Amino acid sequence: MLVVPAIDLLGGRCVRLHQGDYAQAETYDLDPVEVARGFVAAGAKRIHLVDLDAARTGSPTNRPVIGAIRRAVSVTVEVGGGLRTDDDAQALIDLGIDRLVVGTTLVKDPDAVARWVARFGSVFVAGIDARDGEVKVSGWEVGSTVRDVELAARCRALGLISLVYTNIARDGTLGGPDLERTLVVAEAAGLPVVLSGGIASLADFEAVRRANHPLLAGVITGKALYKNRIDLAEVIAQYQDDRHGGLW
């Protein structure tokens, strides 16, 4: 697996939400750029950034911070949150972002996603965030009536190269990941899938390794790092295999 540390940005600051609830945002007194540098120093090959303001309202207020992070590190940087228009995609590409994670637009306007792939190339990743199997959009605050497996099955035809799957009920809880549902979604997509949400300990990474599924490409971890529940360098040394990391 590839171990992917996460930085969630709200108002330019590092935060973690509990089950996607903005009212339960926990803010950390950390410089996001220095956090990213620390992740790279620990051995990270990819960093997952989420623009929570843009995800909720479409306002790209965190792009200066995202640009500063991109300039500060030489690893793969992926960004999700608020990718709604051609201009949004162009702006992130212009910042040098390597992977663009699409969620709300994937549900509401898949033709736009296909158009972006044709224009910008194979840099788009599906972000499927679900509660009880229903995909949530607009910062996880709005239901879609679309099932996670149904959306996953469409991704390959749209030209997406991989998928990040989050069980919202697990996200930010340190309650353990939903490995079972992630594998179901992976099978539906037929694409490399990154598990997100609930990671709390080395045992969770061990469970992913034991699953040994060919489509389970990586694990995103956030709150466990900020809470010092795991040591990133230790996890990477013990579990990371990045031989195929550049392909998705």
Q: Which of 53, 129, 148, 204 is catalytic?
A: 129
The full 3-state SS of 140-199, as one line of letters, equals: CCEEEEEEHHHHHHHHHHHCCCEEEEEECCCCCCCCCCCHHHHHHHHHHHCCCEEEECCC
Sign for the pseudo-dihedral over CA of 58, 7, 174, 166: positive
| DSSP structural state of residue 64 | H
| DSSP structural state of residue 235 | H
Q: Which residues pair with 99 in a beta bridge?
A: 78
Residue type, 85: T
- Confirm if 235 and 205 have CB atoms less than 8 A apart: yes
Active-site residue flag, 171: no
Residue type, 64: P
Q: Which of 8, 51, 148, 178 is catalytic?
A: 8
Active-site residue flag, 8: yes
* Residue numbers annotated as active site: 8, 129
